[in-house]
Amino acid sequence: MGQKVMPEFKPNKEGLYIEDFKEYYMEDFKLIKEGHYDVSKISDIVSKFTSEWLEDTSRQDGAIHHWRTFSYHLTWYPLDWVPGEEYSPSFLCKNNELWELINPIIKDLEKTNNGRVGRATLVSLPAMQLVTPHYDKALYTHLIRRFHIPILTNEKTLFSVDNMYANMEIGDSWRVNNKLLHGVYNFGETDRVHLMVDIIPEELIGDKKYEGEPY
């Protein structure tokens, strides 16, 4: 197993320390194919995106390894979250038809992984571009389970985790160990779009009160 980077973590008011969560950030895997979803209708909608990719550029602006990507945020979650805090996602999707197609996938991932969605984002990597290999550092990114589901892709796109490479097919659900060195390479002539979903383990969530709609 490759090198891991310790997450950045400031103990909360209850005095939690990173050692308390070793079972989450020390998991021993790289990439796992876990299922498949019919994303054909999602693909039809996303393939027509133009200005939607420019509505919020905070993700690519905030991380140098993502600067070649474009994002469309569905739900959002603060990176400074710590275990025990109440569940507080932000709902950002403006396309109701798209959300009605994606929400069942999120619900299924929540059920099968006993958790709640954190960040859910459509991420586009243009043709002949890459996401440079990097480690995720925030505690949030070390405690969630991250899934990638290709919506649009090609045979020349590779996802790498610690020198393991996968050409992920449309609709397949892959659990990704983002604690390890990971990156993406699109050597194809078409853009690659993934649905990226983070699931927060249920046992790490405090007050689960949430009144958001339409989630």
d(CA 132, CA 114): 31
Q: Where are the domains of the chain?
A: 30-202
pLDDT of residue 17: 52
Number of H helices, E strands in the chain: 5, 11
Condensed to tens digits (0 to 9), the pLDDT of residues 82-131 reads 888 889 899 999 999 999 999 999 999 999 999 999 999 999 999 999 99
Condensed to tens digits (0 to 9), the pLDDT of residues 139-183 reads 899 899 999 999 999 999 999 999 999 999 999 999 999 999 999
Band (pLDDT 50/70/90 cuts) for residue 68 is very high
Question: In the chain, what are the helix, strand and coil shares in percent, each to the nearest 5?
Answer: 25, 35, 45
H helix or E strand, kind and range, residue 101: helix 96-113
Domain 30-202 class?
mainly beta
